Structure formats: C-alpha cells, structure tokens
Amino acid sequence: MDHLFVILFIVGGTALLSVPLGSYMKWAMDPAPNQADRWTRLFQTISGASEDQDWKRYLVTLLVFNIIMFTLTFAILALQQWLPLNPDARPALDPTLVFNTAASFTTNTNLQHYSGEVSMSYLSQLAGLMWLQFVSAATGIAALTALARGIAGRSGLANFMVDVQRASFLVLLPVAAIVSLLMVLAGMPMTLQGSAMATTLEGATQTIARGPVAAFLAIKQLGTNGGGFFGPNATHPLENPSFWTNALAMIAILLIPMACVWMFGRIVRRIRHAALIFAVMTVFILAKITGSVFFESAPTPAFVELPVSDETGNLEGKELRLGATTGPLWAVLTTATSNGSVGAMHDSLNPLTGLMPLAGMWLNATFGGVGVGMINMFIYIVLAVFVAGMMVGRTPEYLGHKIEAKEVRFAILALFAHAVLILGGTALFAATPLGQATVQDFGAHGFSEILYEFSSAAANNGSGFEGLGDGSGPWNIATGIAMLLGRYLPIILPFAIVGSLVAKRRAAETAGTLGVEDATFGTMLGLTVLIFGALTFLPAAALGPIAEHFSIP
C-alpha cells in the first residue's frame, strides 16, 4: 500500500500539475498577437532578431546557437584552473573529458564521467554547466513549439532566438526559482563558500563539499538535465536531504515533459489529441514502474538463502532513508524523461528491474526530454498514421496533412539512427578491449553495463549503470559523438518532416479522415511504439538483462 501511495502521489500529482503548466507554457511560448507585444519587443531587442523564419532558417539558427553553446562551455572547462570562482583550486581536466562534458551538457544529456565536487570549479558548475542546463532545455522547448506551429499550418515558425529566450526566462527560470526555494527551505545547501572543514568525534579532520546545490538541482530536474552537483547524485544527503526533497525532485523530473504534451495540443488546437497522446505515454510509464517495483521486490541473489530474504526486496544500492520504493521508481522516471539523475545504484538493480530503465531510453518517447520527448513521439505518430491509413485503405492524413513516402522515410531514418548509435556502439565496445577491459563484471551483466552506457548517451539521458570504467579517452570520445548525433538528428529529421508537410496544400478533414482522437488510434500508436521501438532492441535485451536473470540460480 505504501508503494501505491508513493507512485500515485508522484505520478498522479505531477499529471494534475502539468495541465495548468501546459496552458501557461502555451501563453509563454506561443501567445496570441495581442499578448506578444511587450515580451516580443524585449526579446527581439536583446537578440537583434525580429524576422519570422521558415523551418530551414529556424533549424540553422538552432544549430548555430548550439555550436556557440558548446564552444563557450568547452573553453570554460578547459581553462577552469586559471579562471575565478575556484576556491578549492580544482585542477585542469583531461581534454577528452572536456569534450565529453561539453557535448553532454550542450545536448541536454548531462552524462558525467567525473564527480562534480571533486573535478569542477564553481565557475564551471554555474557559468558552464548550469547555464547549459537552462539553454539546452530551452532549445528543446523552442524546437517543439516551432514543430507544433508547422503542424498547425503556419508557414512561418517564428524566430528561434526569441523562442529560446521565452523558454529560458518565462518558463524555466521562474519554475526553477520556485523549486530551488522549496529545496533550500527543506535543508538543501546554497552557498558560494568553499568546502567546510569539520572535526569528527574521533578527532579526524573531514572535508565536506558544498556549494550552490539548490540552484543546480532545480534546473537539473526541471530541464531533464540530470547532472548531479555531487558524484553520488540524488543519493547524496546534501543533494537530497529528506523524503520531501526526494518527492519534489521526482515531481520536477516529470513536470515539464508532461506539460509539453498539453502545450503541443493547445498550439495545434487539438486538446483531445494531446489527451490521447498523454494517455498512451502514461500507460507506458506506469507499465515500466509496475515492472520495476515488482522485479525489485525479489531479494538480491546474495540474500536468497537468508531468512531476511522473505521480508525484504533488493536493498542493495538503495538510499534506504528515502524508502526502498523510490529507487526503482526514480530509475524509471529518470530514463523515461531523458533526465539521467539517479536515486539508486542502477548497477545493483535486479536484472529485469534494470531492463525497465533501458526500455525507457530505447523508446525515448514516454514523455521524454523537455520538448524533444514530444518530438520523438511525433515520429511514432507519423508512422502510426501511415500504417493505419494503409490498413484501412485511406490516404494517411495527420491533422489535415497528407503523410506520404517522403515523411515516412525521414521518420524511419530517425528511429534507425537511434538504434544504430546504441547497438553499433555496444557491439564495437563489447567485442573489443575498448569495452571489455572497462566492465566490472564479465558475462551478461558486463554486456548490460556497456549497453546501458550507449543507450544513455544516444537517448540523451545521462544516467549510468556504473560499475563501468567509462572515464577513459575512448569512452569519452565515443559517447560524446553518440550524444551529439543522438540529440540533433531527432530534431533535424522531424523538422524536415514538418517542412515537407507545410509545403503541401492542407486537406480539409471529412468523415473519411482517419481519426487521431479515439481509443483505436491510441491503440495503434501504442503498438507502433512497441513494434518499431521495443522489438528493435529485444535481441540486445536477451543478451543482457534477460540472460542475466535466467543465469541466477
């Protein structure tokens, strides 16, 4: 019963909060012309950009802006030893780690091959990494907004530089300010002072790392960023002091990805369609949560023969002061939303429990990352509309747009690229010393460690199975490339789809038009996600977590 209450409180409560937030985001990102004057003029003045952009110019501006983000962050990280706000004299970073970290935070992944409190100066954390947690998340929200405008039939997608400011200043900043204030009130540190020195009861001297933790944590959760201020992430007592900070952090993971679905529905003026998409996503995430909590109720293999095994589930790798349920629950939420923060050691999860977060990253569309999660679901929607139309002998149409071979090719290419980045990287590292020499465990579990790392990088998630020596040069370079391609291909290709749709004459909907607001289409969409998403990775799952499960005595 406690498990059910926690799950309903987190998921159900966030779903309710997401509805008004989605309405607010529609106002903030796509206001009516008479609402936009003051903010539009301000943001146009700041950026010097005023013209409406078609999909190609919008996309080019987005990519150039992200290149600048990467370059500035790379410079800050590479030079941190000589820059200010470094009270603990953090040294220079390895060049491959600089590349990996800059790629990670630029792409909203926040995969960390380092411990923040040990490796990063305050300037690197704030001006480099936390800044990117705002603008990389804002990039995703802006991209979704532009995509929705195109689907709504507008030839102009507005201006990216104005949109990214709207997302940063009108959405992310105020919500993050509220969450960080609540975190400070709940006991989370917020200071620019250096590490605290304490004398233990035994008389030893202890160095306690601290810093602007509350501000960093709020945007890392809300922006589906996930990079922890401390190496242990949300299991660290200063990054997650209590049950209530833990609950608030999990709510923050889901809040904006859920609200993005409602924002999309309001921009395209099809709120019932958005409700159907929301329902499909919710079914998937609840199925993964149920599986995760159930599979984790079995004791860890080391305790099977002990009397205590009948009383407890797998407690290994859990932060028990936060409750045993929150570990597997957090694992599903963080991977379903491309967040990447962790509330338990994923490497210690039971094998089939570990399959649940892997499935979240493989599908990459059960709410997904801020903005881009809904974009990824749009790819599945295109395929579902096309397949359903062919099955019933109707011309495939989506909200008045004809879906033809060109759009389907782009959608298939997006899913294919996601699969290649995960499976191709896993095959290379599992078959060579690049990965074999870095796993903690041989056999199926070691394969799962490699598979998880590439799934996390390609899905722009950022969490890790751990137990993997992923701080080496080859891992830094390979996952850095996977993160960059895994971020921008799923934005470029859907933009190409929308550009193709906008160029066609929009058809009027009739009684013969395929409906996208009923349970039949919802079922078709769910099956499409399973067939094109889950089944692609079934062989890899059979070699990793499934094989490990059946190998346990």
Task: Answer whether 327's CB lies under 8 Å from 357's CB.
Answer: no
Sketch the domain layout of the chain as residue ranges.
7-197+208-269
Closest to 468 (Cα-Cα) out of 335, 334, 347, 330: 347
Task: Answer whether 471's CB lies under 8 Å from 97's CB.
Answer: yes
What are the two backbone dihedrals, phi and then psi, of residue 418, each rounded to the nearest 5 degrees?
Answer: -60, -45
Specify the pLDDT at position 484. Answer: 96
Specify the pLDDT at position 385. Answer: 92
- Max alpha carbon distance in the chain (Å)? 81
* Dist CA 35 CA 28 (whole Å): 9
Residue with token string 């010097």: 48
Specify the pLDDT at position 35. Answer: 66
Specify the pLDDT at position 389. Answer: 83
Q: How far apart are the first and last CA of the chain?
A: 30
Specify the pLDDT at position 60. Answer: 96
Bridge partners for 398 per DSSP:
401
What are the two backbone dihedrals, phi and then psi, of residue 339, each rounded to the nearest 5 degrees?
Answer: -85, -60
pLDDT by position in tens, the chain (length 553): 467 788 888 999 999 999 999 999 999 999 877 666 678 788 888 888 778 899 999 999 999 999 999 999 999 888 888 888 777 778 888 899 999 999 998 999 888 887 766 777 878 877 777 788 899 999 999 999 999 999 998 878 889 999 999 999 999 999 999 999 998 888 887 776 767 777 777 777 776 666 677 777 888 889 888 766 666 677 777 778 888 888 898 999 999 999 999 999 999 999 999 999 999 999 999 999 999 988 988 777 666 666 655 556 777 777 777 767 788 888 899 999 988 888 888 888 889 999 999 999 999 888 999 999 999 999 999 999 998 888 777 778 898 888 999 999 999 999 999 999 999 999 999 999 999 999 988 889 999 999 999 999 999 998 888 778 888 889 999 999 999 999 999 999 999 999 999 888 877 766 666 778 889 899 999 999 998 877 899 999 999 999 998 987 6
Tokens for 389?
Answer: 């139309």
For 302, 336, 351, 462, the CA distances from 445, given in Å and listed in that order, are 15, 22, 8, 19
Bridge partners for 468 per DSSP:
439
What are the two backbone dihedrals, phi and then psi, of residue 430, each rounded to the nearest 5 degrees?
Answer: -75, -25
The answer, as to whether pTM is greater than 0.75, is yes
Task: Report which DSSP code applies to 324.
Answer: T
For 52, 135, 506, the CA distances from 500, given in Å and listed in that order, are 18, 28, 11
* Dist CA 227 CA 240 (whole Å): 14
Closest to 281 (Cα-Cα) out of 305, 250, 249, 259: 259
What are the two backbone dihedrals, phi and then psi, of residue 194, each rounded to the nearest 5 degrees?
Answer: -75, -175
Task: Answer whether 281's CB lies under 8 Å from 377's CB.
Answer: yes
- The rounded Cα 46 to chain-centroid distance in angstroms is 29
Element (H, E) at 206: strand 205-208
Bridge partners for 402 per DSSP:
397
Closest to 403 (Cα-Cα) out of 422, 391, 387: 387
Tokens for 223?
Answer: 């922006």
158 torsion bin: left (phi>0), alpha (psi -120 to 50), beta (else): left
Closest to 26 (Cα-Cα) out of 376, 221, 270, 225: 270
Specify the pLDDT at position 155. Answer: 77
Specify the pLDDT at position 240. Answer: 81
Task: Answer whether 433's CB lies under 8 Å from 427's CB.
Answer: no
For 23, 257, 330, the CA distances from 271, given in Å and listed in that order, are 11, 16, 29
Specify the pLDDT at position 244. Answer: 85
Closest to 232 (Cα-Cα) out of 90, 113, 101, 115: 115
Task: Report which DSSP code applies to 32.
Answer: -
Closest to 326 (Cα-Cα) out of 248, 413, 264: 248
